[in-house]
């Protein structure tokens, strides 16, 4: 698998690319090191560049992007696990490898669109559109990799995405607590212990 070719194909011709992905043997380590870890850094780098030179101190910015990056890697695995355990409820297969590949390759659009986060407001809107396309990619890949019948792919995809959003909110709460921001951060400051 060549990174640029895979990104281009999953974004431009997803239906045929899911069939290619279905026949690949990819282990977790290879998928993380050769795909997920590389693409997941795009929105993180864009966030860093958008905050660089602003009113926030460099140490805080660096800390925030490291936490954002690590949590985004955890999020991929967590969403894949959710996709795996929910698949049998929609007559699909419980397949950890298929779920991780489905999640990782579906998130491609979101990661690539994350580069637009450099542009204030408009960039975040366009990044959101990339996330919507990722949901569509997930929907297309679910019948192929998880063997969810096409008639159940929409509710399966919606349920996985809702669970992912809830998980994202929880992870966001944890991240803000770690960084000392917001209500979570004020509740967990060391001076209170």
Mean pLDDT of all residues in 121-133: 86
Q: For tokens 């905050």, what's the residue?
A: 51
Q: What are the pLDDT digits (tens) for 50-109?
A: 776 666 666 777 877 888 899 899 999 999 999 999 999 999 999 999 999 999 999 999
Q: Which of 129, 150, 131 is nearest to 18 (CA)?
A: 150
The domain limits of the chain are 3-192
Asked whether the predicted pLDDT for residue 183 surpasses 50, the reply is no
What are phi and psi for residue 93, nearest 5 degrees? -95, 145
Give the pLDDT confidence of 142-180 residue by residue, as tens digits. 999 999 999 999 999 999 999 999 998 888 787 777 766
Assess contact for 87 and 95: CB atoms under 8 A: yes
Nearby residues of 31 by Cβ (< 8 Å), 6 or more positions away: 100, 101, 104
How much is the pTM? 0.86
């Amino acid at each position: 698998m060549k990174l640029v070719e895979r990104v281009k194909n999953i974004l431009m011709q997803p239906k045929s690319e899911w069939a290619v992905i279905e026949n690949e043997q990819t282990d977790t380590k290879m998928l993380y090191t050769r795909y997920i870890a590389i693409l997941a850094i795009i929105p993180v780098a864009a966030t860093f560049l958008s905050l660089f030179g602003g009113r926030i101190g460099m140490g805080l910015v660096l800390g925030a992007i490291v936490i954002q990056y690590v949590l985004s890697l955890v999020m991929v695995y967590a969403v894949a696990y959710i996709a795996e355990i929910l698949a049998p409820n929609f007559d699909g297969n419980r397949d950890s490898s298929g779920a991780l590949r489905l999640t990782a390759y579906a998130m491609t659009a979101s990661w690539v669109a994350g580069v637009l986060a450099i542009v204030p407001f408009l960039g975040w809107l366009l990044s959101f559109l990339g996330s919507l396309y990722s949901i569509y990619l997930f929907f297309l890949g679910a019948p192929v990799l998880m063997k969810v019948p096409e008639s159940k792919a929409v509710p399966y995809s919606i349920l996985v995405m809702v669970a992912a959003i809830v998980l994202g909110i929880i992870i966001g709460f944890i991240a803000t607590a770690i960084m000392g921001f917001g209500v979570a951060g004020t509740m967990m400051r060391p001076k209170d212990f």
